[in-house]
Structures are given as structure tokens and as C-alpha cells.
């Protein structure tokens, strides 16, 4: 018996036999000329070109003319109609996207530089940027894993795993997960918490454990015990009670507290009963389909949504966020993005066609009820306006074909610095604004890893958005990992928050704390201008901590 330590990604205690998922080291690491599906390679090239060009334009510093010119030239060269035509022709002939792009871009670069004499000194930088773009197109198997078919309870152990890979497995057999990599603020950790799978990340040399060895994960203390004794197993398992906090009187709650839901294992009835009882505060819809091999149809999405919505009490909220495939939430199916128009470069990494299908499906599945549809990752007013028009267009299309549907309200996630600064304009048209604290925390600490503390930068972004909601008379919600921090509840009250979204595993705890707060202090949600000014003038973490402590 020995122990390993790691970072807790999901609490709880579990015991099962180990199952190691290894990388596919025997796969070819080079690009084969005629190895890939033409349509997939075309989509891969178009998508990566858009993403890389957007990235280039975002890093250009207008204060430095030389850098701005270089970035603009690189983006223009990548998006040249002639280059695109040549690359797509090569892909159609059977080349992989990376080989086609490398062939065309590097061959045509000299001619491009010759026509733009002022770029001659930037030849090396342009070449490096083109090589970097080609690298994004390459099919690397270094991180690929063979996903097993699970038939019995296991503790999964691997170097890393994506949400899509996890959800493609039969999760009812996954009793725990140990990763050598991972970060506790990732979307994978969100899924694991929703599925109540105890998990540890950053466990050094975990994959050296042999298969079929009994492992105990203590997700409360951050330890994994290899071949635990019966005494240790009995001692730890007897103390596990994840839903011990209870609310006595719902009438004492003057803010809505409901579940954030994404990954749902239908075999785990406690997941269903938790969100059915408290309402669907925010359905992160992408997690329901992220492991699909093909893009879901409108009917398939409608059926999936209806299975969830039909479990919700009639007086409980139903709020659903449209697809967000950014960061580590890439689906297994190929997503078609808009090549032009307001959603070109949209942060949610989804295009008009799929969005409309999803909105219609959400409306159809909520027949006879009210549904709030939430749009994530807004960074431009043109995106906001376009998404509102899309939603209204979907309602009209359903009405024109006499298809029953629910009553629609619209909301926007405030989860980027751009959205915070645009919040006064965004708040004018939505029924509600929901501040996504997890994403904002990442932006607040970038380029460093997200800070687990509630920092002055994060606090400032939250109160700026709260002020915009107050001035527009919009409902204000809080979601993400800071929404469940009970010490922040008095602050949220004084910012006018009336809608709180948390994982089902935190709902009872939050409601119990809110009940006590209302009994002891008779708090009512109301935006406090004086508190706003204090936070905007604070720059040290210690000063912010003192302020929050004074509110408790």
C-alpha cells in the first residue's frame, strides 16, 4: 500500500480496480499524402484559417506600426483568394490540409514578399508564422488515446482526457479518475463534478500504476491510495455524505438558486432528481452532444432536450446556453463555422446553421413553458444583434409551420472582458445577464493560470457588469465556480444578484447558507453604488478580503 497526491478536481470517495488508458505510440507520426477524408480536410483547413487569422489580428499592437503591418500582411496572405483556391484544389486531389497549406503558402511566400518590398526584412517572421499555421493543421497522434469499452467499475488513469473523450465512455462504470495532467478550472473538471466522479489531477507518474490494481480515491483530501487496506476503505467510505446540508423553508429564499447542468448520466438518478427539484439554472448544452460522432439533427436535439425539460417542476426555471465549443470543448463531430458575416470568428466556435437548429430544438422541447436561451462569449455588439435576430427568426419559422413551442426569453453570458465593457449596451435588450465567473477569472489572471482567489481584477469586472444590469433594469445572474463560494453571497446580494447558478452538489449548501443569512440579516438583493465605488478603488487582494469579510 502507498499513496499518491494530486489536485482535487471533483470531491468524493471511490474504490475500484485501476484501468490505464495509454497513448497510441504505435501510430504513424508523419503526414500521408492520400490518408484523409477530403470533406473533413477542407473543413479543417477553413476552420483553422479563420481561427488562426483571428488570433493574429487579436495580438497585433496598434501602437507598434511594424508589428501591426506584419500581422496584417500575414493574415492577408493566409486569406488570399488565390492561396485558398490552390490549397483547396490540392486537398480535393487527396492531400492532407497541412501538406496542401505548406506546399502553397511556402511556395507563394517569396512572390508575396517581392510584391511588398517593405516586408523583405520580415521574411523570417512571415515564414515562421506560416509554419506555425501549418503546424495547427497537422494530425498528431502523440496525445491520442485508445478509449476502451467499459463493462465493469473502474478507476480510470491516464495522462490527460478531454470532455468529449470522457463522455464517449459509459460513465456509469467510471467510479473515479486520475490524471497526470489537467487543471481544476477546466471544463473536464466541471463535467466530473456534475457526474459526481471523484477525481485527482496532476498526479505524478500515475500511469505507472499497473492495470487491475485496487485504487481508493479520496477527493476530499487529494490522495489516491494504491491497494488500500480494508480498514482504510471502511473508514473513509463511511464518512462520505455529499448532500448533508438541507434547506428547511423555501419561502426564506429571496433569490433563485438552481442547477448548472451539462453532463448527464441517465443511469445516475441522483443527477436527475437534483436538477428536477431545483430547476435548470443553466443547461450547458454542448456537453450533451460533444461525444456524438456526427452532428445532431434538430429532431435528435429536441428529443434530448425534452427528456431533460420534462423532469423540471412547472414553476422551476429552464435556462439553456447555446453551444459553446471553445477551448477544450471540441466535439467529436465537425462543426461548420460562418466564413463571413457577424459570426465570423465568433468565440462560441459555432455557425449560423447549427445555432438555428439548436434554438428551434430548444423551443420545441419547451412547449407549454417559458425557456430562457442564453448566448455565450459575446465580444461584439454586431454578434449580439445578429443572435437576437436569429432567435426571433427561429420563432417565426416554427410559427409559420404551426409547430408548438415554448415562450422565449433571451439572455447573454458576460464572460469576456469585451462583454464587460459592452455590458451597458448588452443589458438593454436581454431579459437577463449572467456573469460567468470561471471564464472571467481566467481572463483576469492571464497569461498566468487562473487564480483560485477572488481577485480585485475579477471583482472589478463583476461589479462593472452588475452596474450595467442595474441601470438597464435587467435581471442579474451569477454562474461559474465563484457562484458557489458562500462567503461571497453577501457581496452578490449587494450587487443586485437575484439568480444564482451552481452545480447540483452545491445547491443544498448554498440554500442553507442563504436561509441563515436571511434569518439573521434580512438581506434583500439591491445594487449598492457605494460598494461599487469601493471595489473600483481597491487594487490589493488583502483590501478586497477585508471588504468581503466586513460584509459577512
210-219, 267-276, 299-308, 368-377, range with the lowest pLDDT: 267-276
Who wins on pLDDT, 102 or 125? 102
Is 184 found in the same domain as 209? yes
Residues 217 and 263 in one domain: no
Say whether both 18 and 42 belong to one domain. no
Among residues 90, 118, 137, the one where a domain terminates is 137
| Structural domain includes residue 215 | yes
The answer to whether 373 and 411 are in contact (CB under 8 A) is: yes
- In this prediction, residue 65 has a pLDDT band, given cuts at 50, 70 and 90, of low
User: What does the pLDDT read at residue 341?
Assistant: 92
Listed range (109-123, 354-368, 495-509) with the worst mean pLDDT:
109-123
Query: Which comes out higher in pLDDT, residue 184 or 507?
Result: 507
Residue 387 domain-assigned (yes or no): yes
For position 186, which CATH number holds? 3.50.30.10
- pLDDT of residue 472 exceeding 90, the answer is yes
What does the alpha-carbon distance between residue 180 and residue 521 come to, in Å, rounded to a whole number?
45
In a domain, residue 467? The reply is yes
**Residue at a domain's end among 137, 155, 171:** 137
State which residues form the domain around 356.
254-551
Residues 313 and 179 in one domain: no
Cα separation of 146 and 171, whole Å? 16
pLDDT of residue 402: 96
If asked whether residues 207 and 286 sit together in one domain, one would say no
Higher-pLDDT residue of 120 and 538 is 538
* Same domain? 230 vs 353: no
Provide mean pLDDT across the span 436-461.
88
Which three cell numbers, joined as nine digits, stand for 392? 426571433
To 10 degrees, what angle do helices 38-59 and 97-115 make?
Answer: 40
Please check whether residues 466 and 527 belong to one and the same domain.
Answer: yes
Q: Among 50-64, 92-106, 284-298, 403-417, which stretch is predicted with the lowest mean pLDDT?
A: 50-64
Distance CA 449, CA 443 (A): 9
CATH number of residue 307's parent domain: 3.20.20.60
Instruction: State the Cα–Cα distance between residues 186 and 168, nearest whole angstrom.
Output: 18
Q: How confident is the model at residue 33 (pLDDT cuts 50, 70, 90)?
A: very low
pLDDT at 358 over 60: yes
Give Cα separations from 470 to 165, 258, 465, 495 (angstroms).
41, 22, 9, 8
pTM over 0.75: no
Q: Which residues contact 237 (CB under 8 A, 6 or more apart)?
A: 13, 15
Q: Residue 89 and residue 118: Cα distance in Å, rounded?
A: 31
Question: Residue 424: which H helix or E strand, with range?
Answer: helix 417-426
Nearest by Cα to 243 from 280, 216, 276, 270: 270
On the 0-12 / 13-18 / 19+ scale of CB atoms within 10 A, 238 is: exposed
The burial of 29, by beta-carbon neighbours within 10 Å (0-12 exposed, 13-18 middle, 19 or more buried), is given as: exposed
Check residue 252 and give its pLDDT.
Answer: 61
Residue 425: what pLDDT? 94
Helix axis angle for 97-115 and 123-137, nearest 10°, is 160
pLDDT at 249: 53
User: Do the beta carbons of residue 159 and residue 146 sit within 8 Å?
Assistant: no
Inform me whether the pLDDT recorded for 417 exceeds 80.
yes
Residue from 361, 359, 465, 468 nearest 409 by CA: 359
The answer on 272 and 177 residing in a single domain is no
Number of CB atoms found within 10 A of residue 241's CB: 7
Whether 202 and 287 map to the same domain: the answer is no
- Domain total for the chain? 3
Q: How confident is the model at residue 238 (pLDDT cuts 50, 70, 90)?
A: low
Whether residue 143 has pLDDT greater than 90 = no
Write out pLDDT tens, residues 171-210. Answer: 889 999 999 887 776 788 888 887 888 999 988 888 889 8
Residue-level pLDDT at 195: 83
199 and 312 housed in the same domain: no
SS3 content of the chain, % helix, strand, coil (to 5): 45, 15, 35
Top mean pLDDT of 38-47, 53-62, 359-368 is at 359-368
Q: Cβ of 550: how many Cβ atoms within 10 Å?
A: 9
pLDDT digits (tens, 9 = 90+) for 107-132: 888 888 777 766 555 677 788 888 88
pLDDT value at position 23? Answer: 59
Q: Could you tell me if residue 33 is inside a domain?
A: no
- pLDDT computed for residue 60 by the predictor: 45
Highest mean pLDDT among 279-283, 389-393, 504-508: 389-393
Instruction: Evaluate whether 237 touches 217 at the Cβ level (below 8 Å).
Output: no
Instruction: Give 145's pLDDT tier (boundaries 50, 70, 90).
Output: low
pLDDT above 50: residue 458: yes
- Percentage above 90 pLDDT, the chain: 40
Q: Contact at 8 Å (CB) between 296 and 289?
A: yes
What percent of the chain is predicted at pLDDT more than 70?
Answer: 87
Could you give the CA distance from residue 72 to residue 63 in angstroms, rounded to a whole number? 14
Highest mean pLDDT among 22-31, 323-332, 391-400: 391-400
Indicate whether 473 pLDDT > 50.
yes
- Residue 243: inside a domain: no
Sheet (strand 223-226) strand order:
2-5, 223-226, 214-218, 13-21, 154-158, 174-179, 199-201, 7-10
Residue 265 has pLDDT above 60, yes or no: no
Q: What number is the average pLDDT over the span 500-504?
A: 85
Output the pLDDT for position 498. Answer: 93
Decide which of 281 and 332 is more confident.
281
> What pLDDT does residue 25 have?
47
**Is pLDDT of 89 > 90?**
no
Spatial separation of the C-alpha atoms in residues 463 and 236, rounded to whole Å:
41
Task: Determine, yes or no, domain membership for 248.
Answer: no
**Average pLDDT, stretch 325-338?**
84
Residue 31 lies in a domain: no
Instruction: Answer yes or no: is pLDDT of 537 > 90.
Output: yes
The secondary structure element, H or E, covering residue 15 is: strand 13-21
Assess whether 433 and 469 both reside in one domain: yes
Q: What is the pLDDT of residues 421-433, one digit of tens each?
A: 999 999 998 889 9
Q: What is the mean pLDDT of residues 487-506?
A: 90
Give the pLDDT score at 58.
Answer: 61
Q: Does the residue 242 lie in any domain?
A: no
Q: Which pLDDT does position 62 carry in this prediction?
A: 47
Please tell me whether residues 217 and 305 are part of one structural domain.
no
What's the CATH code of the domain at 114?
Answer: 1.10.274.10
**Distance from C-alpha of 426 to C-alpha of 59, rounded to nearest angstrom:** 25
Residue 149 has pLDDT above 60, yes or no: yes
Distances (CA, A) of 27 to 41, 139, 332: 19, 11, 19
- State the sign of the Cα–Cα–Cα–Cα dihedral 321, 326, 329, 331: positive
Amino acid at each position: 500500500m502507498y499513496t499518491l497526491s494530486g489536485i482535487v478536481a471533483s470531491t468524493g470517495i471511490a474504490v475500484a480496480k485501476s484501468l490505464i488508458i495509454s497513448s497510441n505510440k504505435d501510430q504513424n507520426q508523419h503526414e500521408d499524402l492520400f490518408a484523409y477524408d477530403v470533406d473533413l480536410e477542407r473543413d479543417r483547413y477553413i476552420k483553422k484559417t479563420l481561427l488562426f487569422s483571428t488570433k493574429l489580428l487579436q495580438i497585433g499592437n496598434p501602437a507598434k506600426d511594424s508589428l501591426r503591418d506584419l500581422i496584417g500582411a500575414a493574415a492577408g496572405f493566409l486569406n488570399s483568394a488565390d492561396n485558398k483556391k490552390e490549397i483547396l484544389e490540392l486537398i480535393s486531389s487527396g492531400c492532407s490540409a497541412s501538406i496542401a497549406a505548406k506546399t502553397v503558402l511556402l511556395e507563394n511566400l517569396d512572390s508575396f514578399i517581392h510584391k511588398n518590398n517593405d516586408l523583405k526584412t520580415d521574411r523570417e517572421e512571415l515564414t515562421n508564422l506560416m509554419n506555425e499555421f501549418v503546424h495547427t493543421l497537422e494530425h498528431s497522434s502523440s496525445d491520442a488515446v485508445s478509449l476502451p469499452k467499459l463493462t465493469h467499475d473502474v478507476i480510470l488513469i491516464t495522462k490527460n482526457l478531454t470532455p468529449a473523450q470522457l463522455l464517449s465512455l459509459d460513465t456509469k462504470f467510471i467510479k473515479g479518475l486520475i490524471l497526470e495532467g489537467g487543471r481544476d478550472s477546466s471544463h473536464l473538471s466541471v463535467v466530473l463534478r456534475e457526474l459526481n466522479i471523484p477525481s485527482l489531477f496532476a498526479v505524478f507518474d500515475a500511469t505507472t500504476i499497473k492495470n487491475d490494481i485496487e485504487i481508493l480515491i479520496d477527493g476530499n483530501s487529494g490522495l489516491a491510495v494504491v491497494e488500500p487496506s480494508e480498514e482504510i476503505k471502511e473508514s473513509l467510505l463511511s464518512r462520505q455524505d455529499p448532500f448533508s446540508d438541507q434547506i428547511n423553508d423555501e419561502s426564506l429564499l429571496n433569490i433563485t438558486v438552481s442547477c448548472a447542468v451539462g453532463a448527464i448520466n441517465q443511469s445516475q438518478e441522483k443527477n436527475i432528481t437534483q436538477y428536477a427539484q431545483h430547476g435548470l439554472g443553466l443547461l450547458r448544452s454542448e456537453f450533451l452532444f460533444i461525444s456524438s460522432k456526427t452532428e445532431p439533427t434538430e429532431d435528435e436535439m429536441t428529443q434530448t432536450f425534452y427528456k431533460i425539460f420534462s423532469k423540471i417542476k412547472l414553476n422551476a426555471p429552464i435556462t439553456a446556453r447555446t453551444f459553446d465549443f471553445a477551448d477544450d470543448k471540441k466535439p467529436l463531430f465537425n462543426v461548420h463555422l460562418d466564413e463571413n458575416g457577424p459570426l465570423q470568428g465568433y468565440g462560441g466556435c459555432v455557425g449560423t446553421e447549427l445555432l438555428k437548429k439548436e434554438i428551434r430544438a430548444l423551443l420545441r422541447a419547451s412547449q407549454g413553458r417559458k425557456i430562457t436561451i442564453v448566448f455565450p462569449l459575446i465580444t461584439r455588439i454586431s454578434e449580439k444583434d445578429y443572435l437576437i435576430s436569429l432567435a426571433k427568426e427561429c420563432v417565426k419559422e416554427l410559427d409559420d409551420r404551426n409547430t408548438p413551442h415554448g415562450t422565449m426569453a433571451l439572455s447573454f453570458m458576460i464572460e469576456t472582458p469585451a462583454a464587460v465593457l459592452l455590458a451597458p449596451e448588452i443589458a438593454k435588450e436581454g431579459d437577463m445577464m449572467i456573469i460567468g465567473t470561471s471564464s472571467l477569472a481566467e481572463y483576469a489572471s492571464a497569461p498566468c493560470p487562473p487564480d483560485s482567489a477572488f481577485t480585485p481584477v475579477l471583482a472589478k469586472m463583476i461589479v462593472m457588469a452588475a452596474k450595467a444590469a442595474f441601470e438597464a433594469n435587467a435581471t442579474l445572474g451569477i454562474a461559474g465556480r465563484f457562484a458557489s463560494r458562500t462567503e461571497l453571497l453577501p457581496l452578490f446580494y449587494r450587487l443586485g444578484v437575484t439568480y444564482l447558478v451552481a452545480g447540483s452538489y452545491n445547491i443544498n449548501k448554498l440554500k442553507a447558507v442563504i436561509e441563515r443569512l436571511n434569518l439573521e440579516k434580512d438581506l434583500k438583493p439591491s445594487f449598492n453604488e457605494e460598494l461599487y465605488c469601493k471595489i473600483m478603488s481597491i487594487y490589493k487582494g488583502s483590501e478586497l478580503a477585508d471588504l468581503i469579510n466586513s460584509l459577512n
